[in-house]
Structure 1
Amino acid sequence: MDGVPRMPERRGPGAPATLRFGVLGPVRAWRGTELLATGSPQQRALLAALLLREGRTATAAELIDALWGEEPPHQALAAVRTYASRLRKALDPQILVSESGGYAVRGLGEGALDLAAAQELAAEADKARS
C-alpha cells in the first residue's frame, strides 16, 4: 500500500486532479495520487488547524494559539503568514484564502478530507446497525 487514501476521485475528463487531505495520522495532502510537500511540522499544523475548521475562517490569533499555545515566538504572525504563503503555493491559491484578518481552506470537494469520510462511514454504520 502506498499511503494514498482510497477515496473515489470525482472529476471529469481533462479536469485537474483533485486535492485530498489526511489528518487522521500524519498530516498529508495529495493531488490525485501525488503526495504534496506540506512543509515543516508547524506548517502542517497550520494546515491541520485550517482543515479541521471545515471552511470557517480562523483568525491569526487563533492560529498562533493553535501552533504555539501560550508562548508564541516573537515573530509568530510573520511565521503564520509565511506558512500560509508556502501552503498556497504547494496546494492551490484558491484553496487557502485570506479574509477578515485570518485564513480558511475553501472549495474542497466531497470526500477530500479523510476525517469527513471517516465520519460519514461511521454514520452509515450506525444507521445500518439500527
Structure 2
Amino acid sequence: MELQQASGRTGVSVYVGFMKRYSTGNKIAQNILRSPDFGPVLGITCSSMTAPTYFAGEVDYSGSCLHHCVQDVDRMPWLAGSQIREMTVRLNAPAPGRILFHMGFTCENSVIGNVVMGTVQPRGTPME
C-alpha cells in the first residue's frame, strides 16, 4: 500500500512481482508442507541459478538480484510459514558476471534454512 501511495503521489510506476511463490510447483510444495500428515517444517534449502550470459555487455548485478534472488528471499519464509528473524549472507564473486550468494536464515518460528543463488551456472542447466 505504501508503494502504491508513493506511486500516486509521484507519478512513478511501481511493480512488485513475487511470482515464484504463486507458481504451480511452489503452491503444491506449500500445500504439502501445510498438510497435517507432513509434520512440522524444521528446515528449508533452495538453490537458484542463472547464467553469466545474463550480463552480456556491462556487468550490473541489480537485474539478477531483482529478478532472481529476491524471489528466493521472498519464497523461503513463505514456505517456512514465518518471517525471517535473522540471516547471514556470504558472497563469492570469482569473475565479472559471476556471483554466488549463500544466505543462511532462521525464521521467527525456528525454521532454519539456506539459499544458494547466483550467476555461475550455464544456461540449459536446471535453474531451481
TM-score (norm 2): 0.27
Which of the pair is proportionally richer in strand? 2
Q: Could you say which structure has the larger radius of gyration?
A: 2
Normalised by the length of structure 1, the TM-score is 0.27
